[in-house]
Each structure stands twice: as structure tokens, then as C-alpha cells.
Amino acid sequence: MANHLKFIIMKKVILSIALMGAVITTASVQQVNAANEVSAVNIVMDDDNGYVEVQLDSLSPAVQASVNALSAEYDVKSLKFNASKQLTKVMLIKKDDQSTKKVYLDAEGNEVPASQHKAEAAEKNRQEETPSVEVFEATQQKEDGFANVKFEDLNEKVQQAVRKLIDKYDINALQYHAEKKITKVTATDKEDQSVKTVYFDDEGKEITPEAAPQNTTEAPMLL
């Protein structure tokens, strides 16, 4: 009888140990999965160019009000802010169908369409990549006697002539022919994107290449 009781007690102890081990193993697996999920989220969040994660209370009252209005229909997944663009990016999950949505809010809390946001970013990049005439330095190589020249190195009359082109054209290149004293301007029409080449003499008057003064040396007369 005593041996039978000992057997039953030992069996219960073994079962208890097995159950505890299973609970500990399950908890460990859950912790590992949770850690992996956090790492994945962090990787995705860090993949945004210029946007950093922020708390709701760090945003302006106007933006906070817009986010709170969205929370009636959506769960807010993340909030990110771009200081240079003054835009808040809100990642949302719709409560009824769990679909995701991305919203951009300006400093006043107004929603900025994604298409407009992308267009403005592209335009900003284009403007940064295209220098103004005042700081322009041509990059084309010397050809046909024309060498690259800086805008500020041109005389005042030629500078004025070039400035008049800016309203209609984007200046692509400035070159100067020292012997012929001609400035060559390559420009792109802002409307139809056609490329035009204009020549100015030192007086700032537009001329044709054929009308440019030629340096000729006369042969000495034989006596």
C-alpha cells in the first residue's frame, strides 16, 4: 500500500514538472516572437528618409486635433515627423476592415495628398540640382574655341542680356570665345522644353555665329 502511494505521488510530481517545463517553453517562444516582431517594426520605421518617430503630444495642437479626429475611424499605428518638410506622416489601420492608410499632415493639420507631397519633393530636388544663373558654372568641355565661363565673369551688358532670357528659358550652359569675343548661351524653353543656342557680342547684342568677327591676318604687301 505504501509503495502504491509513493508511486502515485511520484507520478504527480513528474507531471507537474512536465507542465511547468511546457509553460516555460511556451513563454520563451512568445518572448522570442515578440522580440522578432519589435525588430521588424523598428527596421520598417527606420527605413523612412527624413522622418523620425514622434509622440502625439510633441506635435502642434492643430496636428494633434487632426490625428484625434482620424482616431474615430482608425487606429493610429505610427506617427512620424519630417522637420525639413514640416510634415507629419500618420500610419493608420481602419477599425472595421483592418485596411492600412498613410496620411500626410502639414503644420496646420491639413491633409496633404500623397501625389502633391511627391510632386513637391521632386520639384524641390530639381531646383536643388539646377543652379541659378548667378551661381552657374558650365560643365561642358571646351569646343570650337568656346570655353566654360562663370556668369559673374561676363561683362555687365552680356549679363543683362542673359538675365532677359531667364523669364522664358532655363540656362543650361555659358561659354565664351576669347578671340571672337562672343558669349554662347545654351538654354531650354520652359514651355516646350526645346533647346536653343544664343550668341551675344560684348555689347550684349544677339548675333548669329556667321556674323561673329573673324580674326584674320593680312599678308604683307610685297614691294
Per-residue pLDDT tens for 167-222?
A: 889 999 999 998 889 999 999 988 888 888 999 999 999 998 666 555 444 444 44
The mean predicted confidence, pLDDT, of the chain is: 74
CA distances from 201 to 61, 108, 135, 137, 180 (A): 60, 52, 22, 20, 8
pLDDT above 70 coverage of the chain, percent: 58
In this prediction the pTM is 0.35
Rounded CA gap, 206 and 223, in Å? 42
What pLDDT, on the 0 to 100 scale, is given for residue 200?
94
Buried-state track 128-164, b at ≥16 Cβ within 10 A, e below 16: eeeeebeebebeeeeeeebeebebeebeeebbebbee
Q: What angle do CA 180, 181, 185 make, to 5 degrees?
A: 105
Rounded CA gap, 69 and 88, in Å? 15
Residue 181 main-chain phi, psi, to 5 deg: 55, 50
What pLDDT, on the 0 to 100 scale, is given for residue 51?
85
What pLDDT, on the 0 to 100 scale, is given for residue 120?
58
The residues of the chain scoring below 70 in pLDDT are 1-9, 11-49, 114-143, 209-223
